[in-house]
Amino acid sequence: MEKAIEILKQNNYKITKQRTDLIDFLKKFTVQYVSINDIANYMRSLYPGMSNNTIYRNLKEFADIGLVEYQEKDKTLVKYQCDFTHRHHHHFVCKNCGKVTELKACPMEFFANQLPGFTIEGHAIEVYGLCADCTKKLKA
* 30/90: higher pLDDT: 30
- How far is residue 112 CA from its own chain's centroid? 25
Nearest Cα residue to 126 out of 82, 86, 75: 75
Determine the average pLDDT of the residues in 4-10.
91
**pLDDT for 87:** 65
- Listed in sequence order, the residues at least 6 apart from 12 whose beta carbon sits closer than 8 Å to its beta carbon are none
Higher pLDDT, 46 or 87: 46
Does pLDDT of 82 surpass 90? no
Q: pTM of this prediction?
A: 0.75
Please give the pLDDT value at position 12. Answer: 94
pLDDT over threshold 70, residue 54: yes
Using a 10 angstrom Cβ sphere, with 0-12 exposed, 13-18 middle and 19 or more buried, the burial of residue 79 is buried
Q: Is residue 108 pLDDT above 70, yes or no?
A: yes
Q: How far does CA 128 lie from the centroid of its chain?
A: 16
Of 11-25, 27-41, 65-79, the range with the lowest mean pLDDT is: 65-79
Burial 98-134 (b: 16+ CB within 10 A, else e): bbbeeeeeeeeeeeeeeeeeeeeeeeeeeeeebbeeb
Mean pLDDT of the chain: 88
Local structure of 78: helix, strand or coil: strand
Grade residue 127 by pLDDT with cuts at 50, 70 and 90: confident
The percentage of the chain sitting over the pLDDT mark of 70, rounded to a whole number, equals 96
* CA proximity to 20, closest of 63, 67, 52, 56: 67
Binned at pLDDT 50, 70 and 90, residue 136 comes out as very high
pLDDT value for 118: 92
Give mean pLDDT, residues 5-18.
93
